[in-house]
A and B are shown apart, each in its own frame.
Chain A
Amino acid sequence: MQALALPALLERVTDSVDPDRDLAERFRSGDRSAFDLLVRKHQKGVWRIVRRYIKRDADAKDVTQQVFVRAFKGLTTFRGAATVRSWLYRIAINCALSWIRDHRRELPTEIAEDSLTAMPIAPGRIANDQEGERLRAAIEQLPPKQKLVLELRVFDDLSFKEVAELADCSENTAKVNFHYAVKKLRDILGGADARG
């Protein structure tokens, strides 16, 4: 195996820790286009997180935009303690919770409006959607911490280290929470099956 020079080795290690560090550095040194690349890379993930909290597409899109605006302003002071992705996701969660707090009174109406304008579901997808709805309903019954850990791990495909950063806990705690979340989910789904 070819020996690597130390700087190259360090660079490889850093990249494996956070592949977006280079983009963040470029942006900090004044390269505006680096931010566009970050947006392109993470807008889908950010939107998915926001959309789990905010149930209306238009609002989720607005909040996603707000997340990146906030990231644009804050990226110059980003010190790299976490990965850029988990830092963005943290902003996304904060923005979504903040939005929910600000629009608490409007939410029931908006959800109702959303259901009226929703696209009709194709007959072939009904079974899958029913199974999906059943799973989602089960997830909603999890305790908040377990729900957060499970969603970040399963839907956002984050490492346990990143999940721990976002859930404000240790990596081991995140693993334990994930473990209990899956067990509890099985219990809920099993109980529902038994009832069904």
Chain B
Amino acid sequence: MREDESPELDADDRALVAKLKDLPSEGTEPNWQELEAAIRAEVGDQAPRPWWRNWRWIVPVWALATTAVIALVVMCSNHEPERQAVVPAVFDAGVPSAPEQAEPTTTTALWLDGEAVQLDDVPGSALDELDGEARAALTPDDDVSNGILPATDYGWLDTLDDEAMVAAEDWLNRKRT
């Protein structure tokens, strides 16, 4: 008896089953080679590929795209300007307003002899000395030395009349020659 055979059958049942098994199959069997050839002709020579094999490329592409998107999001979030916290305007007469912030200190730079000099960094004595020299250079020399009129003020030229102008030009010509 086969391992999975139904054990409840008695001898008559088994005889009937044996009789059924001996029955010839219905109909006339086809030509098996012919049927086999027909099946082969219909299905072709290539074994079909499962649908997911045609989509195998999608896994690496999807992973790559996801990585790219994540990288893009991370990069964009780093460059995003910090949002200003919106402080609601609350006016309370009882609370004194905050003292105004002092204006930022400005530094003055000077380009001197090919290098930038921060005036704040220069000691005061050196500035005084420089200031003195500059003043001396800019101070008009009011003295008439060697008969030459002071070069700082030519307003007197306007006071000369025609004769005096001619005389002055003659004098200058003579002086040149």
| B89 interfacial by beta-carbon distance below 8 Å | no
Cα–Cα, bound, A100→B51 (Å) = 31
Docked pose: A175 CA to B3 CA in angstroms: 13
- A70 CB → nearest B CB, Å: 10
Are A179 and B28 interface neighbours, CB within 8 A?
Answer: no
Q: Is the CB of A60 within 8 A of B27?
A: yes
Stretch at the interface among B8-16, B59-67, B109-117, B135-143: B8-16
CB distance from B76 to the nearest CB of A (A): 42
**Looking at the complex, which of A3-11, A24-32, A86-94, A102-110 is the stretch in contact with chain B?**
A24-32
Instruction: Provide 14 A-B residue pairs closer than 8 Å at the C-beta atoms, listed in order of the A residue.
Output: A28-B47, A32-B47, A36-B36, A40-B32, A40-B36, A43-B36, A47-B35, A48-B26, A65-B35, A69-B39, A72-B48, A76-B48, A150-B20, A182-B17
| B6 with A65: CB separation less than 8 A | no
Contacts of A57 in B (CB 8 A): 27-28, 30
Interface bits A141-183 vs B (CB < 8 Å: 1, else 0): 0000000001000110001110000000001000100110011
| Nearest CB in chain B: distance from A141 CB, A | 14
Least CB distance, A39 to chain B, in whole angstroms: 6
Number of interface residues of A (CB under 8 A): 47
Give complex CA distance A135, B26 in Å.
12
Q: How far is the CA of A132 from the CA of B22 in the complex (A)?
A: 9
Asked if A61 and B35 sit within 8 Å, CB to CB, the answer is yes
The answer to whether A39 and B39 have CB atoms under 8 Å apart is yes
Q: B19 at the A/B interface (Cβ < 8 Å)? A: yes
In the bound complex, CA of A32 to CA of B47 (Å): 5
